[in-house]
């Protein structure tokens, strides 16, 4: 509640009003510091804490924790309470039939604020800055703060998603948001702050060195274009395509993208080396029998061996 008014009335918060209008339930508030007004609620909170949260659960993320809690609740439904002949699940099924059906879409439980993207493609939420793609600079966006993540939306589209930080004055970057700008300014690749902590597989560094040696200035831009493939494909897909391209000797953006698409579509790759003029060329001539005479003559001069041809 936002405020306690006279004669027992309550001023609801905006978030609670949204929840109530979504599920269409009637609220009933207890008195401040009067736990006995809602004894059943307090009792169920204590039971849940003792049986589901002790010892303290350990999980990789919130999804894993929720799955563990759900499993505990399902197991609890098989119990029969004292004085009852049916399990909790059986009684719950009968109660559910008397309730209204849930909405087709779950309630979006988050904190929402409207704000503007800065000139550095950053959005501030709860004292921390989160990145968005550079093309959205200075646009009005909606920020949704969840327990575990922060979504940044433009209209009905989510243009950025980050793991939520509970620190202060932190910068949470997604390096992919800045690659389009770096493609126009490739000399800033090594100094770009959003890329400083970006850890990529070793094959990416090897690819960059080869590109810059063979293509000189153009090599850095070609490397950024290859990084931009991560905007649409997974890191594993791009890494595998780079390894294949280096094995074939067709190192370049077009070849790597072609190999990724071929892997997805499960078809053989068709690479034309004529499209890569900067690659070193190998010239292989047809072998002629008389070419071996030079070897025989050299062997005869050093070993004084006579060679006859009949």
Answer whether residue 301 is part of any domain.
no
pLDDT at position 289 is 76
120 and 43 in a single domain? The answer is no
Sorting pLDDT into bands at 50, 70 and 90, what band is 279?
low
Q: Is the pTM of this model over 0.85?
A: no
**φ/ψ of residue 191, rounded to 5:** -105, -5
Residue at a domain's end among 65, 97, 129: 97
**φ/ψ of residue 197, rounded to 5:** -105, 20
157 and 185 in a single domain? The answer is no
Answer whether residue 102 is part of any domain.
no
User: Which residues, in sequence order, are CB contacts of 180 under 8 Å at separation 6+?
Assistant: 133, 134, 135, 228
* 171-172 sheet: strands from edge to edge: 122-125, 128-131, 171-172
For residues 54, 59, 65 and 67, what is the CA-based torsion angle, rounded to 10 degrees? -110
167 and 187 in a single domain? The answer is no
Answer whether residue 205 is part of any domain.
yes
pLDDT at position 34 is 78
Residue at a domain's end among 157, 172, 187: 172
Answer whether residue 288 is part of any domain.
no
Determine the Cα angle at 130 with ends 234 and 119, to 5°: 110
153 and 192 in a single domain? The answer is no
Average pLDDT over residues 184-197: 93
pLDDT at position 277 is 54
**φ/ψ of residue 39, rounded to 5:** -60, -40
Answer whether residue 121 is part of any domain.
yes
127 and 154 in a single domain? The answer is yes
15 and 90 in a single domain? The answer is yes
DSSP state of 73: H
265 and 183 in a single domain? The answer is yes
Q: For the chain, how many structural domains are there in total?
A: 3
pLDDT at position 63 over 80:
yes
Answer whether residue 218 is part of any domain.
yes
**Cβ neighbours around 206 below 10 Å, total:** 14
Answer whether residue 299 is part of any domain.
no
pLDDT at position 220 over 50:
yes
pLDDT at position 6 is 73
250 and 194 in a single domain? The answer is yes
Lowest mean pLDDT among 53-67, 137-151, 159-173: 53-67
Residue at a domain's end among 149, 172, 195: 172
User: According to DSSP H, which parts of 30-154 are helical?
Assistant: 39-52, 62-76, 88-97
Domain residues for 218? 179-275
Answer whether residue 308 is part of any domain.
no
**φ/ψ of residue 88, rounded to 5:** -60, -40
């Amino acid at each position: 509640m936002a405020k306690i008014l006279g004669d027992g009335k309550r001023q609801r918060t905006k978030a609670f009003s949204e929840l109530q209008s979504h599920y269409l339930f009637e609220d009933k508030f207890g008195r401040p510091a009067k736990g006995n007004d809602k004894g059943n609620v307090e009792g169920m909170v204590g039971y849940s804490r003792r049986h589901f949260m002790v010892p303290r659960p350990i999980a990789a993320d919130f999804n894993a924790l929720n799955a563990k809690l759900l499993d505990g609740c399902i197991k609890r439904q098989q119990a029969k309470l004292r004085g009852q002949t049916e399990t909790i699940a059986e009684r719950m099924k009968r109660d559910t039939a008397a309730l209204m059906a849930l909405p087709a879409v779950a309630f979006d439980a988050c904190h929402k604020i409207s704000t503007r993207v800065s000139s550095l493609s950053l959005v501030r939420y709860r004292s921390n800055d989160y990145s968005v793609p550079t093309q959205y600079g200075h646009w009005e966006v909606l920020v949704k703060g969840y327990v575990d993540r922060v979504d940044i939306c433009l209209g009905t589209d989510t243009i950025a998603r980050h793991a939520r930080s509970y620190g202060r004055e932190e910068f949470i970057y997604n390096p992919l948001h800045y690659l389009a700008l770096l493609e126009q300014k490739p000399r800033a690749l090594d100094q770009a702050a959003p890329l400083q902590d970006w850890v990529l597989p070793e094959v990416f560094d090897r690819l960059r060195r080869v590109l810059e040696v063979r293509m000189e200035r153009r090599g850095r831009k070609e490397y950024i274009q290859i990084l931009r493939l991560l905007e649409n494909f997974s890191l594993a897909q791009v890494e595998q395509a780079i390894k294949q391209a280096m094995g074939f000797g067709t190192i370049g953006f077009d070849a790597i993208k072609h190999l990724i698409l071929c892997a997805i579509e499960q078809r053989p790759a068709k690479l034309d080396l004529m499209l890569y003029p900067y690659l070193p060329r190998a010239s292989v001539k047809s072998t002629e029998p008389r070419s071996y005479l030079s070897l025989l003559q050299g062997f005869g001069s050093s070993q004084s061996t006579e060679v006859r041809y009949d």
